Structure 1
Amino acid sequence: MTQQATETSSTLTPAQRRRGLAAVLMGMLVIGVNVGLFNPLISLNLEARGVSTTFNGINAAVPYIAAIMFAPLVPRLARRMGLLGVLFLSGAIDIAVILAFTLNDDTWVWLGLRFLMGLGMLFHWVGSEIWVNAAVTDANRGKVLGLNGALFSAGMICGPLVLGWTGTATNLPFYISAGLIVAAMSPLFFAFGTAPDASGSHKTRLLQTVRDAPTPMAGALLEGIIFVALFVQLPIYGVRSGLIEGDAVSLLSALVIGGTAAPMGIGWLADRMDRRVLLIICGVITLAAILMLPLVFTSVWITWALLIVWGGAGSGFYTVGLVRLGEKFGPAQLGMATAAFVMATHVGSLAGPVIAGIGMDLWDPDGFIAAMAIAVALFVAFAIWRYLKSNES
């Protein structure tokens, strides 16, 4: 069970592994740009048509629902098609769906297309992370997975800038979005023969991977909860705490900066210390930043600094969790473990805004802080308990 995932790439030369990783990592940067462009593009288009915010929210949630429903399919596809085939399939789905948005303006059709878009992005996300985790060695797993996360986050920063340049009045951003998918797929044509083998005959059950790695899975769930809740509710919390709307929205930039800058450093630490302890440290730092936020909210610079820390330490739940999966699971189990990990993230992404919203309704506005603090505190307590239990056994 604890067989190293690096065996997956044992038949590849170091040069082949580097070539494959370079192709996948370049693709993740471009996919990040596309996600940062496409999500607000659809929301703003629907808003301009006078669609209700409820329907707009449902539309935004549909890709997460698709990911939760179909994540276990990805490792099965990888066994049949190989990881390279899964990534090319994801590109074909995304390009076809993006162009279909330009052919029909019906909002219900767009809802179905958003579901299909979620499938395409899911295949690329899970396929890429299986590839990266299986192709590295345990000595550099943290650094490479940290780079993977940093590149995706950096791309997401660029996406809204592209949309700001194109606007939403024409189909140009859709064509650019499709072009970005083509750009993300292009490096893969140089990666034939470099993909780790995903055709293992060992079939692993989804729930078994959760039972075998409960702390990383809980971290993935928490990462989804706190980050999506932040992006939905933090501007509202800021306005209700006395900020003007523009300043409240700008707080999200601090989170993005932290989430982009920190994964490389966290990955470096993950290669040099007990990863279970590092997950706990990320939780404690995140909890401290959350609890301090209401106390310093009148100071813009201290608030930004805390949110950068929050975003940075919070990104460790995902980065270190993935590293733990690669450390814990062998090649036959890594695909299903990654699918479960991504499912946990998306369940958290759906639950987070609801949890934060209920908290703010019960205690306006600091119920948002209380809800996030409780979620992180529960994770820290669970992670410490698991760590102590494993050391006793």
Structure 2
Amino acid sequence: MPHIDESGGAPFALYKTIFPLSVSAALSETPGWLATALVGLALAGDGYSTAVAGTFASGPAAGVIAMSIVLPGIARRFGVVRVFYFAAVVLVASLLCLVAAERTGSLWLWGIGSFGVGLGASMRWVLSDGFVNRLAISTHRGRLLAFHETIRSCALGFGPLIAAYSTDDPARGFMIGIAAAVIGALITIGMTLPQVTTGRARLSDLTKGIRLAPFAFAVAFLGGILEGVAAAAVPLYAVTLGLSAAAGAVLASLSGFGNILGQVPFGAYADNSGPRPAIRGALILSIVALAILHPVMTSPFASYAVILGFGAAAGALYTLSVMEASNTAAADVGLLPILAAVAIVYTVGDLLGPIIGGIALAFAPPAAMPAVFIAGCAVVLLFARKSRGNG
């Protein structure tokens, strides 16, 4: 790894150093999104109820939350770099469990494999974010983090794409996931990875970080909710309004594309004005997109533009929450506990978003669903204006 001048930074050298970490993170997280989509489809295809299929499909998210809670302690005990590479072993072993589950029909193997994929993906995700945050100490920090998240977010597209290609043979999809995990690990071999502070590696560090930076974690939680809404609730919303399931899937994919497109502009804005103004901008864009979503849903091109903007804002909220939280609390509890806590809060939000959206669609007129999330954005925006600081 080239020497990095942390006082000002040579942007090209930083981008060049971060790039393989970002690609590795994307490849390592692809199995998580693959399993989320393919496990449920495989079980439903085997005749299990949607409740059973959905429960096992949530295994990766449960694994992310569980690992994020204990990751600082594990990294402190065994070393950050060792854990980073061991995560690839966990991913491969878990995906092999899923291959065996598909061949044998064992629900135990489906559960172990699905949960294990979340464990391994979480380790690579949080530690990659930690390495990049450690490197991105310069006046280009927002853009560098956004560059990383832009590449990492490609996993949101690659995973479901592999799943769609593998519905006739799920084992083939899981084998492709193994290849992605192995390549992701090999890319970073030989790199001199930076030290990432683990703090005392106690559970209290996670809760202390949340107490020290409540606004940042509120933003991460909301970002998770909105990304969950874009991925799962918006397609249901489209079907409720009479559109086809395919049209709903297109909207979900466009939200992911918006996530990728929005990272660098919001990161540059954060560099120039600070994370708080950038967060406020993302919240305002989210509110505007949600406010006009209902009227434009039946107009293809207008709805595409709105969903792109919504995806850009929702995706940027995670990156900006990492900046805000690490600026506010990392010095007190260590960087890794902060990133782990952000991952937990974000993933819980990602799980809750579709549930809230589904309940709103079931018990209220269709127009009420966007209104629920507008209210959430408005509350966080009010919090942002009342707790000004750091921009």
TM-score, normalisation: structure 1: 0.89
* Structure 2 counterpart of 1:134: 134
Which residue identity lines up with residue 179 of structure 2 in the other structure? Answer: G
> Does residue 1:26 correspond to 2:27, yes or no?
no
Give the Å deviation of 1:200: 5.3
Q: How does 1:1-393 map to 2 (within 5 A)?
A: 21-104=18-101, 105-169=105-169, 171-191=171-191, 193-198=192-197, 205-328=205-328, 329-330=330-331, 333-387=334-388, 390=389
Secondary structure at 1:72 match in 2: helix
Which residue identity lines up with residue 339 of structure 1 in the other structure? Answer: A
The whole-number CA distance in structure 2 between the counterparts of 1:31 and 1:20 is 18
Give the Å deviation of 1:341: 0.7
- Cα 1:116–1:29 shift into 2, 3 Å: closer
Give the Å deviation of 1:197: 4.3
The whole-number CA distance in structure 1 between the counterparts of 2:352 and 2:86 is 29
Secondary structure at 2:47 match in 1: coil
Secondary structure at 2:153 match in 1: helix
Give the Å deviation of 1:278: 1.2
Which residue identity lines up with residue 364 of structure 1 in the other structure? Answer: P
Which residue identity lines up with residue 194 of structure 2 in the other structure? Answer: A
Give the Å deviation of 1:363: 1.1
Which residue identity lines up with residue 25 of structure 1 in the other structure? Answer: S
Which residue identity lines up with residue 377 of structure 2 in the other structure? Answer: V
The whole-number CA distance in structure 2 between the counterparts of 1:217 and 1:351 is 15
Aligned length: 381
The whole-number CA distance in structure 1 between the counterparts of 2:317 and 2:270 is 11
The whole-number CA distance in structure 2 between the counterparts of 1:307 and 1:252 is 8
Give the Å deviation of 1:239: 1.6
Secondary structure at 2:137 match in 1: coil
Which residue identity lines up with residue 186 of structure 2 in the other structure? Answer: S
> 1:234·1:248 contact (CA, 8 Å) conserved in 2?
yes
Which residue identity lines up with residue 107 of structure 1 in the other structure? Answer: L
- Cα 1:14–1:292 shift into 2, 3 Å: closer
Give the Å deviation of 1:237: 1.1
Give the Å deviation of 1:222: 0.5
TM-score, normalisation: structure 2: 0.89
Give the Å deviation of 1:164: 4.1
The whole-number CA distance in structure 2 between the counterparts of 1:79 and 1:299 is 53
> 302-311 vs 253-262, which deviates more?
253-262
1:342-378 per-residue CA deviation (whole Å, 9 max, x = no partner) reads: 1111111222122112222221322221222122122
> 1:66·1:115 contact (CA, 8 Å) conserved in 2?
yes
Which residue identity lines up with residue 338 of structure 2 in the other structure? Answer: A
Gaps of 5+ in 1: 1-6
> 236-245 vs 275-284, which deviates more?
236-245
- Report the identity percentage: 24
Secondary structure at 1:143 match in 2: helix
> 1:149·1:319 contact (CA, 8 Å) conserved in 2?
yes
> 1:19·1:194 contact (CA, 8 Å) conserved in 2?
no
1:145-176 per-residue CA deviation (whole Å, 9 max, x = no partner) reads: 11121112223323343444454326222221
Secondary structure at 1:205 match in 2: helix
The whole-number CA distance in structure 1 between the counterparts of 2:198 and 2:214 is 25
The whole-number CA distance in structure 2 between the counterparts of 1:145 and 1:322 is 9
The whole-number CA distance in structure 2 between the counterparts of 1:206 and 1:155 is 26
Secondary structure at 1:190 match in 2: coil
> 1:356·1:367 contact (CA, 8 Å) conserved in 2?
no
The whole-number CA distance in structure 2 between the counterparts of 1:167 and 1:300 is 28
Query: With CA pairs under 8 Å and 6+ residues apart, which has the higher RCO, 1 or 2?
Result: 1
Give the Å deviation of 1:18: 6.5
Which residue identity lines up with residue 117 of structure 1 in the other structure? Answer: V
1:249-302 per-residue CA deviation (whole Å, 9 max, x = no partner) reads: 211122112111110121111111121111111101101110111122232111
> 153-162 vs 215-224, which deviates more?
153-162
Secondary structure at 1:103 match in 2: helix
The whole-number CA distance in structure 1 between the counterparts of 2:196 and 2:253 is 39
The whole-number CA distance in structure 2 between the counterparts of 1:87 and 1:331 is 23
> 1:30·1:181 contact (CA, 8 Å) conserved in 2?
yes
Give the Å deviation of 1:106: 0.9
Which residue identity lines up with residue 41 of structure 1 in the other structure? Answer: L
The whole-number CA distance in structure 2 between the counterparts of 1:386 and 1:35 is 35
RMSD: 2.7
Which residue identity lines up with residue 370 of structure 2 in the other structure? Answer: I
The whole-number CA distance in structure 2 between the counterparts of 1:266 and 1:366 is 29
Give the Å deviation of 1:19: 6.8
Gaps of 5+ in 2: none
The whole-number CA distance in structure 1 between the counterparts of 2:182 and 2:169 is 23
The whole-number CA distance in structure 2 between the counterparts of 1:322 and 1:61 is 24
